[in-house]
Structure 1
Amino acid sequence: MPADDAPHEAGPWVPRGSTAQPPFELMVTPERAGWQYAGLRVLDLPIGGRATFTTGDEEMLVLPLTGSCDVTCDDERVTLTGRASVFARISDFAYVPRAATVTVRAPNGGRFALPCARASRTLPFRYGAAEDVAIELRGAGQASRQVNSICMPPGFDADRLIVCEVLTPGGNWSSYPPHKHDEQRPGEARLEEIYYFEVAAAPTGTPGVGYQRVYGPIEVCAEVRSGDAVLVPYGWHGPTMAAPGYDLYHLNVMAGPGQRRWLACDDPAHAWVRASWTGRAVDPRLPLTSATPRRPGRGDPAW
């Protein structure tokens, strides 16, 4: 646990809109979180909207949640095809370096996640293709989930930033067994982490809900809805629970002071669960998404 255990300015649970700073509907900086490296903004643009900002000392991704956009970084530009929703497909994305001026333009509007991390190296602006994102199916049975390695070592280079997407079918648990990564030691890396959520809607359009647990030095058991976030500075976290009938998406943003590796240790009280998966099938509903778009379904807005 870090020496500075002062309360976090944004609080561990960050409801949608509670940290809004237009045009960002969510704004979590290291200062607001009470830590040093990881951050996240969510940019909400109307039809024809654009936003220009500087990255300062942060490296960043532009990752469409809904919609498509053009991303201009200084004198270079890429076009992101994007997606109808996080449940429709894996999206392409752009990596933006520190000390850059960025403009995101969305002719048809959209919402865009901007995960970021304080960085020392200045790497090139570049495009990340959806087809290059590795998909991993983890767990078994009701602990089955899909992990999309958006900006993960060694597949995609960054200075400190680690980003992945996790999709959990309704009724399943992710981030299980509970685990932590708050110490720099063999088999574990010190990583600050942000969980950002989107939840599929009911067939009637009623918004869905999920749940997130964090325990140890801090205690959180939060009902989460689309647009909410949970901060994990230290301690055990998990499970991430998808309520029956509601598929759950969460974006993990991680960064820390050591070597860029995602190393975690399970809570010893629950580590035995992994062995119980041997010989059990992964949930047949997975994978929920791929790089190939599918027709809009439950929880998807019209394209």
Structure 2
Amino acid sequence: MELAPGGTHTFTTGDSEWIVLPLGGACTVEIEGKEFQLLGRESVFAGVTDFAYVPRDARAQIASGAGGRFALAGAKCERRLPARYGPAPEVPVEDRGSGNCARQVRNFASADAFDCDKLIAVEVITPGGNWSSYPPHKHDENRPGAETELEEIYYFEIDGPNGFGYQRVFPSRVGGSDVLAEVRTGDAVLVPDGWHGPSVAQPGHAMYYLNVMAGPGQERQWRICFHPDHVESTGGYR
């Protein structure tokens, strides 16, 4: 969502919980009498940002004096949790992988970092020329202790003009999702099921993506299964 200077956006959350995440710029989020000042950031490549959690069955307004771009990440939920502010210094930042699989993961709303009912969300920065979301993995069935059923959205931004990347999704079952997408800033790839990865960054152009996940199970955890043909590559993941 993009707001012009002085712009506002008002929405009701219905049966979903939401996170307001600045992509570029600052804003104020007002939720039923509570007001959160989000300092934001210049761009997604400038570092982590603060954010606001908006509960279900609420009315919220986003206002930006200087204008900016903001992501609304949401998922249907059952519990109504309190509206909250997420400070940038409390966002866990993880350097994951090694070599040409190295990337940075910002776990701002991972299951272990921030309390939501269903929603899980993280940001990933992949250096130019590197692969991330690798080895291919899936989370499309519930296997207690081994895998959680989660649908997922990838939202992309590419650093620099004319940059692009690629995202692969392939079937884990007959008739499953099968996608090879060229992605640029503003593009999204849906992963309702299937193996997904790699996410490939063009040399010279870092790639950002926002992962938003949720599922029907009672356990809010990111438990994944690596593709058996690529399980030897998990060293690059760790």
User: What is the rounded CA distance, in whole Å, between the counterparts of 2:237 and 2:43 in structure 1?
Assistant: 31
233, 239, 256: which is aligned to 2:198? 239
Cα 1:120–1:276 change in 2 (3 A) is closer
SS of aligned partner of 1:131:
helix
SS of aligned partner of 2:35:
strand
SS of aligned partner of 1:112:
strand
CA offsets 1:68-93 (integer angstroms, 9 cap, x no match) = 00000011101000000000121000
CA offsets 1:256-289 (integer angstroms, 9 cap, x no match) = 01110000000000010124678xxxxxxxxxxx
Runs of 5+ in structure 1 lacking a partner? 1-42, 279-303
CA offsets 1:221-278 (integer angstroms, 9 cap, x no match) = 1110011000000000000000100000000000001110000000000010124678
Per the alignment, residue 167 of structure 2 pairs with 212
Q: How many residues align?
A: 232
Residues 1:188 and 2:188 are matched in the alignment: no
Cα 1:275–1:111 change in 2 (3 A) is closer
User: What is the rounded CA distance, in whole Å, between the counterparts of 2:157 and 2:71 in structure 1?
Assistant: 11
264, 270, 274: which is aligned to 2:224? 264
SS of aligned partner of 1:194:
strand
User: What is the rounded CA distance, in whole Å, between the counterparts of 1:213 and 1:245 in structure 2?
Assistant: 20
Per the alignment, residue 147 of structure 1 pairs with 105
Per the alignment, residue 213 of structure 2 pairs with 254
60, 66, 72: which is aligned to 1:108? 66
Using the size of structure 2 for normalisation, the TM-score is 0.95
Code of the residue aligned with 2:129 in structure 1: it is G
SS of aligned partner of 2:46:
coil
Code of the residue aligned with 1:116 in structure 2: it is G
SS of aligned partner of 2:228:
coil
Runs of 5+ in structure 2 lacking a partner? none
Residues 1:56 and 2:14 are matched in the alignment: yes
User: What is the rounded CA distance, in whole Å, between the counterparts of 2:237 and 2:32 in structure 1?
Assistant: 49
SS of aligned partner of 1:270:
helix
User: What is the rounded CA distance, in whole Å, between the counterparts of 2:120 and 2:165 in structure 1?
Assistant: 23
Offset of residue 197 of structure 1 = 0.3
Cα 1:248–1:276 change in 2 (3 A) is closer
Residues 1:274 and 2:234 are matched in the alignment: yes
Cα 1:207–1:126 change in 2 (3 A) is same
Runs of 4 or more consecutive aligned structure 1 residues displaced over 2 Å after TM superposition: 275-278
Residues 1:228 and 2:187 are matched in the alignment: yes
Alignment identity in percent?
A: 55
Using the size of structure 1 for normalisation, the TM-score is 0.75
User: What is the rounded CA distance, in whole Å, between the counterparts of 1:107 and 1:272 in structure 2?
Assistant: 50
User: What is the rounded CA distance, in whole Å, between the counterparts of 1:213 and 1:180 in structure 2?
Assistant: 12
Cα 1:261–1:66 change in 2 (3 A) is same
CA offsets 1:23-51 (integer angstroms, 9 cap, x no match) = xxxxxxxxxxxxxxxxxxxx110011001
User: What is the rounded CA distance, in whole Å, between the counterparts of 1:53 and 1:276 in structure 2?
Assistant: 42
User: What is the rounded CA distance, in whole Å, between the counterparts of 1:51 and 1:129 in structure 2?
Assistant: 22
Per the alignment, residue 134 of structure 1 pairs with 92
CA offsets 1:76-118 (integer angstroms, 9 cap, x no match) = 1010000000001210000000011000001000110010010
SS of aligned partner of 2:45:
coil
CA offsets 1:171-223 (integer angstroms, 9 cap, x no match) = 0000000000000003100000000001001xxxx331011000012211111
SS of aligned partner of 1:166:
strand
Code of the residue aligned with 1:256 in structure 2: it is G
